[in-house]
Structure 1
Amino acid sequence: MQRGYAPYTKRLVVTASGDASSTIASAIAPCSSLTQKAAFFCCSVLAFIATSLLFPFTSIAIPRTIVLGANHSTPPYVIAETQKGLEIEIIKAAMNSQGYDVTLVFASQYRMASLLKSGKLDAVTPVTTSSMPEDTYISDSHITYRNIAVSLTSHNHTIHTISDLNQHVILAFQNAKALLGDEYRNAVGSSPRYLETPDQQKQVHSFFVQQDSVIVLEERIFQHYMQQLPPDKLTAYTVHKPFPLTHYHVAFRDPELREIFNMGLKAIKKSGEYARITGNYPQQCEHNDRTHGPFPTGQKADSQPLQ
């Protein structure tokens, strides 16, 4: 984080109208009676005013910047190395449409809450309605996550509900037990073997290599890492969707900023920019138990889900 960086400041807007020439003449006249130094200062100020008067109804805006806290890299949603990602691009586009720039600070969820409370951040993402920090204002939902279970098609697993996971070996993302609710926690408590991992790239790789588990993770994250594997490492797999969608939001310290973001989000959805951004990333499939593959040698994994 940039030390001493001040969160956003108000915009300066100057407008003018009326008979500019006569106003300028009368304003500059008093400068003749001043000392040289004072006259220079006076005329500099008046020159700025004169510029505004000569161009009625124009505005000079100093862009405002907000400081946004985001999770450490969770591709394709947040990619710290490039300061991009699906979620970051959506937030930047929404704020840019309203005249704001966005500076990013990457931190853990706990650290972000502390920085937000101390005023060093203007906003944090992503949060849910049940996990929003205290004394913040939550935005409209800007992104939706879909957690899935993935199994090898050859295993013929039936996973229609969360409780169906209780009979399978599970490799899940870190903190899945805490985030996916009581039903999930109870189900995997009966699993023959249950593990969680912070490394989701290895999670996806080991699924195709070891071929002995069901993995639980977010759908776009799975597709992101799967597409990095060579075709000869892929095996036909089935996507199961026993989990409800998770709608995420941005939490702001300032209710005005929250409303500005909401307006920007509506604007980019209306203009088509939101769809353009999401179209550059892996898509979510609407179908349950959808089989993908097999993958002949030389064929790349689908970049779009089968419909």
Structure 2
Amino acid sequence: MLQLAVWGILTSLISYKVLASNDDKSLEVAVGWNKPPYVNSADDSGFELDMIRQIFARMGYKFKPVYVPYGRSLSMLQNSRVDGALTLSENAAVPPVQLTDSYIQYQNVAVSLQSKHLDIKQPKDLGRYAIAAYQTAAKNLGEQYAYAVKQAPLYVELPDQTKQVAMLLNGHVSVLIIDVNIFNNLQAVLEPGTNRQPITIHHIFAPSDYHVGFLNPNLAQDFNQALKAYQTSLAHQELVHKYNIFADEDV
């Protein structure tokens, strides 16, 4: 009788643990450092994080961001240190990484101060200037860009995009390569109100599609199904409006 009682208690505990685990499924996902309006690491918010959180909820998972320098996301996933990684380009599709369908587009642009009157009409024109770019830009923006930046008198890729924007505003570089929404947000922080320097946005890149990477192909398939449903929902439209995404006018 005692053995039966102990077995009953153990069975109940195991059953409770399984149920609790099913109720609290979560995925740890590598996320590039702070890049508002897409990612605000201080409070786990932003357009991209809020979107992923809603898509994961449709999959039945909780989203747990792990903040790392953007260039480390892929290696962390490949080494199984996380379950997934955000904002991966197509060139990250190497075994064992399984990329989802594109869930977000970044509009990368070249940015300069209007006072400099720079003539930049295509990526090859960048070779004349000192440039600061986001991490992995040389891998993601095409052969013409990669060749041009090798000719540039100065070229740096930075994990901290606040420092990147500051380099332009302080005159340490002539051109930024950055997503237009990230630039608009960070310039407003660094130069609030009437202190903003007039800038020129050079539209020399096509939009960049980005994907979530998983090691588990079933998770990638589940994500794609949830993504399709989410993209046609009112929740997605409300999120775009909330964060004012895709506003890229010159100022």
| TM-score, normalization by structure 1 | 0.66
Q: Does residue 195 of structure 1 match 2:155?
A: yes
Q: Is the Cα–Cα contact under 8 Å of residues 125 and 249 in structure 1 kept in the other structure?
A: yes
Q: Is the Cα–Cα contact under 8 Å of residues 63 and 99 in structure 1 kept in the other structure?
A: no
Q: Who is 2:141 aligned against?
A: 180
For 1:245-271, what per-residue CA distance to the aligned partner results, in whole angstroms no more than 9, with x for missing partners?
A: 210001112222112211221222222
Say if 1:271 and 1:226 are closer, same or farther in 2 by CA, change over 3 A.
same
Q: Is the Cα–Cα contact under 8 Å of residues 28 and 65 in structure 2 kept in the other structure?
A: yes
Q: Who is 1:15 aligned against?
A: none
Q: Who is 1:101 aligned against?
A: 62
Q: Is the Cα–Cα contact under 8 Å of residues 171 and 197 in structure 1 kept in the other structure?
A: yes
Q: Who is 1:148 aligned against?
A: 109
Structure 1 residue ranges without an equivalent (≥5): 1-33, 49-60, 293-307
- State, as a whole percentage, how many aligned pairs show the same letter: 27
Q: Does residue 221 of structure 1 match 2:182?
A: yes
Q: Is the Cα–Cα contact under 8 Å of residues 76 and 224 in structure 1 kept in the other structure?
A: yes
Among 89, 92, 98, the residue aligned to 1:131: 92
The more displaced of 200-209 and 242-251 is: 200-209
1:251-270 map, 5 Å: 251-270=213-232
1:194 partner amino acid: L
1:224-263 map, 5 Å: 224-228=185-189, 229-263=191-225
Give secondary structure in 2 for the equivalent of 1:284.
coil
Task: Report the RMSD for the aligned CA atoms in angstroms.
Answer: 3.2
Q: Who is 2:19 aligned against?
A: none
Aligned residues: 240
CA offset at residue 219 of structure 1?
1.3
**Structure having greater relative contact order (Cα 8 Å, sep ≥ 6):** 2
| TM-score, normalization by structure 2 | 0.79
Q: Is the Cα–Cα contact under 8 Å of residues 164 and 187 in structure 1 kept in the other structure?
A: yes
Determine which structure has more spread, i.e. the larger CA radius of gyration: 1
Q: Distance in 1 between matches of 2:205 and 2:95?
A: 27
1:18-97 map, 5 Å: 62-97=23-58
CA offset at residue 70 of structure 1?
1.9
| Structure 1 stretches of at least 4 aligned residues deviating more than 4 Å after TM superposition | 108-115, 117-120
Structure 2 residue ranges without an equivalent (≥5): 16-21
